Structure 1
């Protein structure tokens, strides 16, 4: 039951739908819901992360069962089906590719093999091309530094070399992080140019035959086990018209130590190359006598996964929606990994977020009907590259022009109640003003992402809609525990990243303190509920890269 503690809500009056409030005037309305409980969160997180769902991989029996469970929960609390054909589901067609055991990738020094790509302790590789057989013969290796072409930063690692048909070796992250120089890119904070996704995209644009990223834990923000676990086994992608022909024939990672060994064969020191790559006058260089050859054999199938969508319809403006989203998928099973546990349960990542949006939906449904509508969207294939949200952004169930704003929930730690909330990508949109006023009423405060170098802003589903212009908020529980302080929270977060993130160890534990996840769910519920009962259309802040996209969207005739 929703209890309105006070009824005064400050509204921003709009001159046009494309202009939000420059600063939200503090609202005085506090909203709470008895529907958001630790008991319900526990039941739903435990269910979603159980072995019965086999790690919730898209297109698998476990993934199908997990998405059906979410739909059943939406139905049980009375949400309106918002998917296709009157259902709760939006079908997302995916390709599923698995390299066969007889696939090979080798790096040769002259004619002698000096690197076996099938050594899982030092290498992972795959292809996004939809060909059953792919061969690369004697592709020359080229070191391209960070592999960045960024005109706005006056930076082009490819400017003086032709890499068509060659294999590029690439450093992870960007020069700003490597130097901690705030005048380079965004300093310590990772830009999109530092993300692995960009590295492969740019290598393909440059015509490379293969692209291999050199792993290093600090700039990647995760260890080798995360890399090997994430890119082993079946790999998913959206169905592309060109069947992956625009991608490089091979994508992969190798460990820093193995890259050092290879380059020494050619008389080069990786540390020297790293230092050179941070200079604006860096020139990519061919690596003498080292070539890559590969013979890839793969099983290709098309599978269908599902986004799950339910709604609460508004009383006054039913066509306009506040969006809540979380990804339901995880990494499935991997029979090749060491140890008895082969299931990646994904309890924190992201059974917590999925359970939270169901709890918030239940609070919306059982309380006083909001004036504007709310959409609750559980998306698939986030772990495969934000595929479910990318598909939704292209084929929205609610027109993006009618999407007031969105709140993304991804991987909340069972830390307990905190004094703060963390905003990933802080300084982006006026949703932060709403969050700030919501926290003020609880004597809490906002903190920016404490690891901007990790690039979390580009690693979750909100970015798919942000790139279309929809204002999005990605917020998590903070680190300052109410009783045990900041160091306790930081250590808790570090322990999860080091020992459980993208590992079979990310499992539900009955000793979890869910009070902080409940706290965060209540805060995000209040924020969205107040927004649904206002006339606000939040915008991106001036100077952000997405503001012009929102303005164009809202001014369009479509």
Structure 2
């Protein structure tokens, strides 16, 4: 659920991309890459090793973590990099300790909704699903008033406030998923069909906490959510993790949950309201919160909570002239560990593509950079943990940075690169309105490739990989997505690979290494990624967020540190 884009271009867009590719510029002569360039065999071998049975799916805080860290740190040491972390533990300065809280709702889970003088019992995972990410032993909510807050958005830079001074203390907010203009024509107020962070469920819970709400229930609708109820149920019905926070209540309301659309329609009707009519009103800046008359929500369940410690891995090349300015490359080393068997009986979730390929890319980048002259700025190679548990390793680094965020130039993330050969295009996960993407486009043109925008921006892919943890604190960031317009077979071949991977291997034990992979496309991708980072590291450039970005204010607040 926290994954990069594995989407498919619509037919019209695919045709447009193919026509654009026909006019792509020829490759320009470029300086040679140090260390003999990027090595497809080395990429393959790294993935082969860390996705093997011995690594048991690389689950954080398991014996497999130690084995994984030993391998990655060993490679960094062999390349001559410096440790970049701050831990005093057994891995020393090569890591950053990442303490995580683990939460699991325990049965019986009693949920009920009262409206129109009638109380209806709800079944966890059927009509509703709830969770709690604050360290309490028991959640007991009795007849909390329900208030409809539209889309639950407070965005001053877009002149939008769904809360308008409402007091939510002791109350449960009910909100819609996605942005106000997903189904309305607001002139691009929230980027049209392209989801902004205000449309993500994570933001809505955070805002509920800031507004003092006791809880929040998000109304699930498949199209604006970009996934069905089964995804909501399965993702929320297992143990949840969060970084250890000094004040958890500042980030999470006591109760976080979803309800089925049909239940919401019935709830509004019993409160004397029409769901579709109220939804339409919520698509206007004039919307005001609506108390659902006579409607209350009750919840009673136990909560198991404990703490684990996992680790981010940090290796560094200090800058020759401006070592306090840092370009970061990221990839997550974790996967799903050992779980339910597939049809063949395999219980190891190997995570070869996701994200063995990203770690292999990180190791090849570090080798190449270490083989050349030191850049002016420092380069940090950051292998983060717990991406599969909610981008938590990168979130922890962003809230506990080892190197100042104000003088962090950018984060370039790599998550699940393709294994099916060369592509004419390159892309990113989502469109973050960041100048860094313009820099990538220029590098692609110089290499004779073209940039293909995310074909499904309404799915919010920008917010589902580790670069987002940096973006939300203002650091310019993007996540590289391999192209789908293949040199052999075009867009049709690229989409066929993506379909097969998504259906049969993504987050399944079958995501295994294969000797038949064609990693020549990854080599091309890495050349672009290398040149993009090198340009930043050897320049005075500070890429910024474009006007209208929800992350620009955070970056602007630290502008004085970059003068």
Q: TM-score, normalised by structure 2?
A: 0.82
Check whether the contact 2:112–2:119 (CA below 8 A) recurs between aligned residues.
no
The reply on whether 1:154 has 2:154 as its aligned counterpart is: no
Q: Which runs of 5+ in 1 are unaligned?
A: 1-25
Q: CA deviation at 1:557?
A: 9.3
Paired with 2:282 and 2:349, the residues of 1 have a C-alpha distance of 37
Q: Distance in 2 between matches of 1:306 and 1:225?
A: 31
Shift of residue 162 of structure 1?
Answer: 4.2
Change (3 A) 1:312 1:103: same
Deviations 1:99-153 (A, max 9, x none): 2233433335556434212xx3554321012111121112233333212223333
Q: Secondary structure at the match of 1:440?
A: helix
The alpha-carbon deviation at position 550 of structure 1 amounts to: 4.8
Q: Which is worse superposed, 164-173 or 401-410?
A: 401-410
1:224 offset after TM fit, Å?
3.5
The count of corresponding residues between Structure 1 and Structure 2 is 529
Aligned equivalents of 2:83 and 2:471: distance in 1?
Answer: 25
Question: 1:358-373 alignment to 2 at 5 Å?
Answer: 358-373=363-378
Which of 123, 138, 149 does residue 116 from structure 1 map onto?
123
Query: Which string of whole-angstrom CA distances, capped at 9 and with x for unpartnered residues, describes residues 328-362 of structure 1?
Result: 23444566999966665444333322221112112
State the partner residue of 1:8: none
Aligned partner of 1:37 among 26, 39, 62 = 39
1:420 aligns with 425
**CA-to-partner distance for each residue in 1:203-238, whole Å, 9 max, x for gaps?**
223332221222233322233343334333222112
Give the Cα separation in 2 of the matches to 1:111 and 1:383.
Answer: 40
- Secondary structure of the 2:388 match is coil
Partner of 2:64: 62
SS at match of 1:31: coil
- Residue 183 of structure 2 corresponds to residue 178 of structure 1: yes
Residue 522 of structure 1: aligned partner? 527
- Report Cα offsets for 1:31-71 as digits up to 9, x if no partner: 33546333332333344444554544433333444334322
CA distance in 1, matches of 2:183, 2:547: 26
Query: C-alpha separation between the residues in 2 aligned to 1:539 and 1:246?
Result: 29
Task: Assess, with a 3 A threshold, how the Cα gap between structure 1 residues 437 and 123 changes in structure 2: closer, same or farther.
Answer: same
Match of 2:17 in 1: none
Between 152-161 and 457-466, report the one with greater CA deviation. 152-161
Structure 1 window deviating more from structure 2 (505-514 vs 407-416): it is 505-514
Q: Which residue of 1 aligns with 2:85?
A: 83
Inter-partner Cα distance in structure 2 for 1:207 and 1:427: 29
SS at match of 1:353: helix
Q: Name the counterpart of 1:9.
A: none
Work out whether residues 328 and 379 of structure 1, in 8 Å CA contact, stay in contact via their aligned partners in 2. Answer: yes
For the residues of structure 2 that align with 1:497 and 1:146, how far apart are their CA atoms?
30
* Contact kept? 2:47, 2:513, Cα under 8 Å: no
For 1:136-215, list aligned pairs within 5 A: 136-159=141-164, 162-179=167-184, 181-215=186-220
Please tell me whether the aligned partners of residues 157 and 548 of structure 2 are also in contact (alpha carbons under 8 angstroms).
no
What is the CA distance between 1:363 and its match in structure 2? 1.8
CA contact (8 A) 2:105 2:131 kept: yes
Cα 1:373–1:170 change in 2 (3 A) is: same
Indicate the SS of the match to 1:87: helix
Note closer, same or farther for the CA distance 1:400–1:209 as it changes in structure 2 (3 Å cut). closer
Matched with 2:106 is 100
Residues 159 and 442 of structure 1, relative CA distance in 2, 3 Å threshold? same
- Structure 2 CA distance for aligned equivalents of residues 500 and 143 of structure 1: 40
| CA drift at 1:409 | 1.4
8 A contact 1:431–1:538 mirrored in 2: no
Offset at residue 377 of structure 1 (A): 0.3
Q: Does residue 309 of structure 1 match 2:314?
A: yes
Shift of 1:397: 2.6
Q: Secondary structure at the match of 2:142?
A: strand
State the partner residue of 2:508.
Answer: 504
CA gap 1:154/1:323 in 2 versus in 1, 3 angstroms:
closer
Residue pair 2:107, 2:301 contacting (<8 A) in 1 also: no
SS in structure 1 at match of 2:259: strand
1:138-537 map, 5 Å: 138-159=143-164, 162-179=167-184, 181-244=186-249, 247-260=252-265, 263=268, 270-288=275-293, 290-332=295-337, 344-424=349-429, 426=431, 428-490=433-495, 492-493=497-498, 496=501, 501=506, 503-504=507-508, 507-510=511-514, 511-532=516-537, 534-537=538-541
TM-aligned CA distance change 1:515 to 1:424, over 3 Å: same
Most deviating of 216-225 and 489-498 = 489-498
Distance in 2, Cα, partners of 1:404 & 1:163: 39
Distance 1:507 1:337, change over 3 A: closer
Q: Distance in 1 between matches of 2:175 and 2:80?
A: 50
CA distance, structure 1, for counterparts of residue 260 and residue 267 of structure 2? 11
Kindly provide the CA deviation profile for residues 445-501 of structure 1, in whole angstroms up to 9, marking residues without a partner as x.
Answer: 122322221222233222333344433333221221222222443454456556655
2:169–2:213 contact (8 Å) kept in structure 1: yes
- Rounded to whole Å, the distance in 2 between the matches of 1:419 and 1:527 is 18
The answer on whether the counterparts of 2:51 and 2:513 sit within 8 Å (CA) in structure 1 is: no
Secondary structure in structure 2 of the residue aligned to 1:383: helix
TM-score by length of 1: 0.83
> Contact conserved, 1:499 with 1:505, CA < 8 A, in 2?
no
Deviations 1:353-390 (A, max 9, x none): 22211121122223455454321001123334433223
Q: Do 1:30 and 1:526's aligned partners in 2 also have CA atoms closer than 8 Å?
A: no
After TM superposition, the structure 1 stretch with the greater mean CA deviation from structure 2, 330-339 or 476-485, is 330-339
Q: CA separation of 1:209/1:53 partners in 2, compared to 1, >3 Å: closer, same or farther?
A: farther
